[in-house]
A = this chain, B = another copy of it.
Amino acid sequence: MINTSSAKNAFKKVTGKAQKVLHRSLDQHVKLAVTGLSGSGKTAFITALVKHLTTQAEHKNLPFFDVMREQRHIASKIVPQEALKVPTFEYQNALNALFPLEGGVPKWPASTERINTLRLAIKYQSNTGLRGHFSPQSTLYLDIIDYPGEWLLDLPMLEQSYHQWCNQQYPLLLQMPRVKTSHAFLDALEQLDLNTPVDESLLAHISQLYQQMLVGLKKDTKLAMLQPGRMLMPGDLQGAPLLLFFPVNINNDTVVEGSNLAHLIKRFNAYVKEVVKPFYNEHFKHFDRQIVLVDVLSTLNEGHETLKEQSSVINQLLAHFSYGESGFFKRLFKPNIDKILFAANKSDHISAKHHKDLALLLDSLVHEQSNQLKFDGVQIETMAMSSIAATQPRQVTDKGQTLDCIYGKPLNEQDWLTYLPPQPPNRMLNMNEWPAQGFEFLSFSPMPTPDKQLKHIRLDHVMQYLLGDKLS
């Protein structure tokens, strides 16, 4: 009985594999990873991507997406995902928020803070070549994987010791803007003797204060380097010792066995081994394409330090995407990612004539250290775009001057507004160049859409960059 069923299973496995190989040879699979810090618009981006590829898939709507312009797109639909352990992206809930029942007010879909996924089957007419010959209708299976940007930012920890991590993180707590909220944590840290036998409840108490500080920074600022990232959304790991650590001021290298310091090191190492590494092994190294959404305008609102930190984090990340001989990633994971897009989202919140400034600014954030970096085989691009346009352009004439305003409903307000947005800088400003009054870009609620059609800015360019070559 057991033997028969084993044999059957073995047979199934073999045919399964053969089918898979066959399947792969005709159809194609792309795993598109979508990330960004919370509030960067991941949920809106995925919702728009799916909506425009399914019910709004027309060449007029997506003129710069070749498969649409050339009218080779046949149809796309959501199909069952392969990864059964990963929560499904809640597309219908997102649509329900954007298109409420009559009388309802459209809202931005609730953000998800865990990994989730959705599979699209894109059926299209091949352009040329072998695929066109053998299979006039090809299908591209697109796995969209949405994961918290914080998980990406844990990446550098893979290369660090606890000492190195402390030397990077601890000084930040004494500087602006963190110093504004780090008091409680730093005060508690004073009570901790690193060399005395471990006091687990003290470590737990200080960890809690550190976590509160991180959660507050995530909520109130656009700071990018909040580590360990899983502390911001611990899920099933809440209360596990490997999340109960924090940076300290280390003066020397001796580690007393069984001491508080020894336990902090143990926990840091366990976090890297049991949380960060599995994410890269199970997910990251299987990604083919990566889009990183950046809410540059909100970061400008936050001030110079925050923009500088975002730039530094992005550049730190870029170093990790490097495929060079000594590439860290290559040694550790052999990842597949061959195209990365940094997208300044929400460009509808400024005037159309300033979109270029926004793209240039993001470019200057990303390319700051490009001379030192080698991106062998990886393409990197920056764009300003808007997954879901929440405003309309309005030209206003004032004292004979034509002003490029936008019209929309500011977030959390009742009234609609015609407003002249400030111009973003087109490159990273230094401290002296920063305007004294700072920047103040507004945020907007989504527009009512009686026709249930979403509007976008340059989403078709994004699609072409990320998927165009796979749909040729």
Contact = CB atoms under 8 A, between A and B. Distances in A.
Contact of A84 (B81, B204, B238, B241): B241
Contacts of A263: 80
B235 A88 contact: no
B116 A239 contact: yes
Contact of A240 (B87, B90, B201): B87
Interface stretch (A100-108, A266-274, A401-409, A434-442): A266-274
A244 to B, nearest CB: 8
A454 interface: no
Interface string A268-290: 00100010000000000000000
Interface string A96-124: 00000000000000000010100000000
A239 B88 contact: yes
A46 B47 CA distance: 47
A240 B88 contact: yes
A397 to B, nearest CB: 49
A242 interface: yes
Nearest to A233: B236
B201 A92 contact: yes
A417 interface: no
The listed residue with most B CB atoms (<10 A of its CB), out of A84, A116, A240, is: A84
Interface string A62-104: 0000000000000000101100111110101000000000000
Contacts of A116: 239
A237 interface: yes
Contact of A81 (B80, B204, B241): B241
Contacts of A198: 80
Contact of A80 (B90, B236, B238, B241): B241
B85 A237 contact: yes
A200 interface: yes
Contacts of A80: 198, 200, 241, 263
Interface in A188-219: 198, 200-201, 204
A88 B198 CA distance: 15
A4 to B, nearest CB: 15
A203 to B, nearest CB: 9
Interface residues of A, number: 29
Contact of A237 (B87, B200, B240): B87
Interface string A219-257: 000000000000000011111111000000000000000
A311 B239 CA distance: 34
The listed residue with most B CB atoms (<10 A of its CB), out of A81, A237, A274, is: A237
Given A78-B200, A201-B92, A236 B114 contact: yes
Contacts of A86: 240
Nearest to A200: B80
A209 B277 CA distance: 36
A365 to B, nearest CB: 32
B236 A236 contact: yes
Contacts of A90: 239
Interface in A304-352: none
B235 A236 contact: yes
A84 B240 contact: yes
A241 B88 contact: yes
A237 B200 CA distance: 29
Contacts of A242: 84-85
The listed residue with most B CB atoms (<10 A of its CB), out of A114, A236, A263, is: A236
A90 to B, nearest CB: 7
A240 B242 CA distance: 25
Nearest to A241: B84
B200 A84 contact: no
Contact of A274 (B81, B85, B200, B266): B85
Contact of A85 (B78, B88, B270): B270
Given A80-B241, A90-B239, 12 more contacts: A80-B198, A84-B240, A84-B266, A85-B237, A85-B242, A85-B270, A86-B240, A87-B238, A88-B204, A88-B240, A92-B201, A235-B235
The 5 closest A-B CB pairs, nearest first, are A87-B239, A84-B270, A84-B242, A235-B236, A84-B241
Interface of A: 78, 80-81, 84-88, 90, 92, 114, 116, 198, 200-201, 204, 235-242, 263, 266-267, 270, 274
